[in-house]
């Protein structure tokens, strides 16, 4: 009986010995690796890096530093995406002022597009009469009126005539070959009347 017990115990130990060992946990593969070098153990780097037209970068192995030497003259920069601009300034005086004025003031040259950045106008009409002003441009076959706000400034001729002025920053366009027209429409009065219109802007290639 004792012999049988010894055989069973020996068989149990043998079975345990034959069992596969538990797999060790795998180390994470997404950890950063940091390499730290002291000045006594610098990263072996030899020479300088130089690129023509840019600052020179120098690497100092002994001090673990980077030295940047700026060029003595700035790098030339040229803007190439903006089309060349040709300044335009227009002025027109009309006297006397009819009841319905449609005055051509500028024709856009062929191959160019007009950009209007500022418009100003001056108007003298009888006191109590009404008037409004606009400029007309054409883009893509569509004609549009752009109305100009006017503000009364003073009166003269014994209070019978009033002076109004308007000015406006704008961004208006006119296509090649089209004509910019200044319009004034008023209702009554036949005393001294006059008006002026001016604008400034530039031409670009169409």
Q: Nearest 5 degrees, angle CA 8-CA 12-CA 18? A: 145
| pLDDT at site 25 | 59
For the domain that residue 185 is a member of, what is the CATH number?
Answer: 2.60.120.1330
- pLDDT tens for residues 118-151? 999 999 999 988 899 999 999 999 999 999 999 9
Task: Quote the CA–CA distance of 78 and 101 in Å, as a whole number.
Answer: 46
Domain contains 167: yes
**Do residues 165 and 45 touch, judged by C-beta distance below 8 A?**
no
Domain contains 8: no
Domain contains 1: no
- pLDDT tens for residues 28-74? 566 666 667 777 777 666 555 555 556 666 666 666 676 666 666 66
Domain contains 159: yes
Question: What's the structural domain count of the chain?
Answer: 1
Domain contains 68: no
The residue segments making up the domain with residue 136 are 86-205
Domain contains 152: yes
Domain contains 21: no
Task: Quote the CA–CA distance of 155 and 49 in Å, as a whole number.
Answer: 76
Q: Is the pTM of this model over 0.75?
A: no
* Structure-model confidence comparison of residues 26 and 41, the more confident one: 41
Map 56-70 to HEC letters: EEEEECCCCEEEEEC
Q: Mean pLDDT, the chain, as a whole number? A: 81
Domain contains 32: no
Sorting pLDDT into bands at 50, 70 and 90, what band is 76?
A: confident
Sorting pLDDT into bands at 50, 70 and 90, what band is 192?
A: confident
């Amino acid at each position: 009986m004792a012999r049988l017990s010894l055989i069973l115990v020996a068989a149990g130990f043998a079975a345990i010995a034959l069992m596969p060992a538990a797999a060790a946990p795998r180390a994470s593969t997404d950890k950063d690796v940091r390499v730290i070098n002291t000045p006594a153990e610098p990263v072996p780097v030899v020479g300088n890096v130089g690129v023509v037209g840019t600052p020179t970068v120098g690497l100092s192995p002994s001090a673990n530093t980077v030295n940047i030497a700026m060029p003595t003259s700035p790098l030339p920069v040229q803007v190439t995406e903006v089309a060349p601009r040709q300044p335009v300034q227009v002025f027109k005086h009309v006297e006397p002022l009819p009841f319905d004025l449609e005055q051509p003031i500028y024709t856009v040259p062929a191959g160019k597009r007009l950009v209007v950045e500022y418009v100003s106008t001056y108007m003298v009409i009888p006191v109590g009469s009404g008037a409004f002003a606009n400029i007309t441009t054409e883009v893509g076959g569509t004609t549009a009126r752009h109305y100009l706000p006017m503000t009364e400034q003073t009166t003269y001729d014994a209070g019978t005539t009033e002076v109004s002025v308007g000015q406006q920053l704008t961004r208006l366009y006119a296509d090649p070959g089209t004509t910019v027209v200044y319009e004034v429409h008023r209702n009554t009065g036949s005393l001294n009347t006059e008006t002026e219109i001016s604008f400034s802007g530039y031409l670009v290639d169409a």
